[in-house]
Structure 1
């Protein structure tokens, strides 16, 4: 009995000293601004212009969350983070959401105190080289020096790839993407390896982008997605359903330009989605027209992809597997109802 009593006291003391998970939703509402962790500058995903205005695929996701929660996509403070800083910043509450080309893996989802809300972009690791190297396949890179970014999944992926194909390489590990660009541009390494989408973006920063080529091999699965802290289910649901709303809007044909007309549509699914009917907003603790606020002010998933990454952008990346499920891709949202 004495042992049971002592254990109960210990557990009671622990319960009093362990703080409850912060309600990020209330914090964001009180602050009237979302803090979003982004990259330090990757074209097409998150990068500031000369005036300091941020744009990109990941930026637009942050804007969509702000539109859903605060009704205004401009109420966002962007925090540029290195790969080493990104998880610590999220864990510590330095940012409310991480939207920074981050691969969803088992170890990250289970041991870092964070939760990925879904896949926003299906990517895979590739290789970029100088055309002058005369190589047309990653299988011909035996003996190459290879630049990778510290603290990323690319380090292990490239090690596995070279080992599997019985090739040798010399790793050059650098702590930032900009540092790799400088090293690669000056010839410190023969190969730059990271997610293929990032290679297309980073190529634009090289002195002579046309002198470089991305090889055809994709050596990994890299599902990139936003993440939030564990133990904050309300906030997790809001950020997750923001992503799903962007996808559902594209499937329903709702765009930034026609969202207003959709409020009086003859299609009940469109009216429910936009909040003219139903209670999806109440279920999330948001304004009834939370999804209308997202689409009318930011656009649907397809619009975000096209202007930042697609053929209307500098990167000109095909949708490929990032197309909707009914257009040959992997993108699929549960019903927003």
Structure 2
């Protein structure tokens, strides 16, 4: 039995190598303009933000975070290694024009999917990787427990984001008044709140959780329970390259599907002998699936082995900040994460 398994593994490896050579040749011909540029350049250019847990350089200057891990997963899908990716911080005002002009191949900066950005600006979006909502961070000494208590308050919102419209819509619906203060630089949010220039600041709750940790006295501030909007955050790319879009889509889906199957970076090798045909296709043991996609048969295996599944990415980067999974749980656990089938 052991000899038979070794023989089967050797045959699979030989077939996979043959398929890989074929897909590498066939894939180049229909790569698409973005992938052509990426392959010629040798790196993927990714626009990111600066929020602890999501994207931030460590003490050695190496980028770390939830969205950063998806950038590395893309590098693995394209190049077979996590290191051929270049992260550049870009403000909300700069990031969308930079994507349009070709400065970035993809934005992993917490971009909200909206109809205007899809139709008017011509962006394509990958799967939602984080279900967020706009929140309000307020000084505790104001004694408010809900957003409606902020009648007459001065609230800071960042220009160039969906936050300005969302907070205005909220106060209009509730019949309350507020004084908006537009803040250009996200770094000035903290100064505005600590100096008393504003009573509260509003932004995606994911960003506010990170900003709270940067305050001198985080316990003096509270994130109110309401969410003023739906903010599905997804990778964004410029329109006109369907193949690049699909590679982004299925790279994200691979991390979600792996979690659903219980495949982790630690145990992925134990699944190589799975009798499940879907898992065999997913991990490249059956290389015919990857041939149809024009990818390395081990692309999904390498992503999970190196970066981990969605749950691992979440736990590693966001759990330390106190984030619970909530809507970002698998659909089987009451959340919204759901991968289409790998077939």
Q: TM-score, normalised by structure 2?
A: 0.89
1:283 and 2:289 equivalent? no
Contact 1:237 1:284 in 2 (8 A): no
Distance in 2, Cα, partners of 1:45 & 1:167:
33
1:122 and 2:131 equivalent? yes
Shift of 1:93: 1.1
Shift of 1:273: 0.8
- Superposed CA offset, 1:85-127 (max 9, x none): 1111111111111001110000001111210112111111111
Distance in 1, Cα, partners of 2:289 & 2:265:
20
Contact 1:238 1:284 in 2 (8 A): no
Contact 2:126 2:248 in 1 (8 A): yes
1:334 counterpart residue number: 340
Distance in 1, Cα, partners of 2:166 & 2:114:
13
Q: CA 1:22/1:276 → structure 2, altered by over 3 Å: closer, same or farther?
A: closer
Distance in 2, Cα, partners of 1:265 & 1:316:
35
Shift of 1:260: 2.3
Helix, strand or coil at the partner of 2:86: strand
Q: Which structure's relative contact order is higher, taking Cα pairs within 8 Å and 6+ residues apart?
A: 2
2:38 counterpart residue number: 28
Which ranges of structure 2 fall in alignment gaps of 5 or more residues? 1-30
RMSD: 1.3
1:239 and 2:248 equivalent? yes
Q: TM-score, normalised by structure 1?
A: 0.90
Number of aligned positions between the proteins: 313
Which ranges of structure 1 fall in alignment gaps of 5 or more residues? 1-20
2:81 counterpart residue number: 72
- Structure that is richer in helix per residue: 2
1:138 and 2:147 equivalent? yes
Q: Which runs of 4+ in 1 moved over 3 A?
A: none
Distance in 2, Cα, partners of 1:29 & 1:254:
30
Shift of 1:281: 2.4
State which of 165, 186, 211 in structure 2 corresponds to 1:177.
Answer: 186
Distance in 2, Cα, partners of 1:282 & 1:55:
32
1:8 counterpart residue number: none
1:109 counterpart residue number: 118
Shift of 1:271: 1.6
Shift of 1:22: 6.2
Helix, strand or coil at the partner of 1:204: helix
State which of 206, 209, 214 in structure 2 corresponds to 1:197.
Answer: 206
Distance in 2, Cα, partners of 1:163 & 1:233:
40
Distance in 2, Cα, partners of 1:333 & 1:279:
20
Distance in 2, Cα, partners of 1:198 & 1:91:
24
Distance in 1, Cα, partners of 2:253 & 2:292:
15
Shift of 1:282: 2.5
1:209 counterpart residue number: 218
Distance in 2, Cα, partners of 1:283 & 1:88:
34
2:101 counterpart residue number: 92
- Superposed CA offset, 1:163-188 (max 9, x none): 11111111111112211122112111
Equivalent residue runs for 1:313-332 within 5 Å:
313=320, 315-332=321-338
Shift of 1:278: 4.3
1:229 and 2:251 equivalent? no
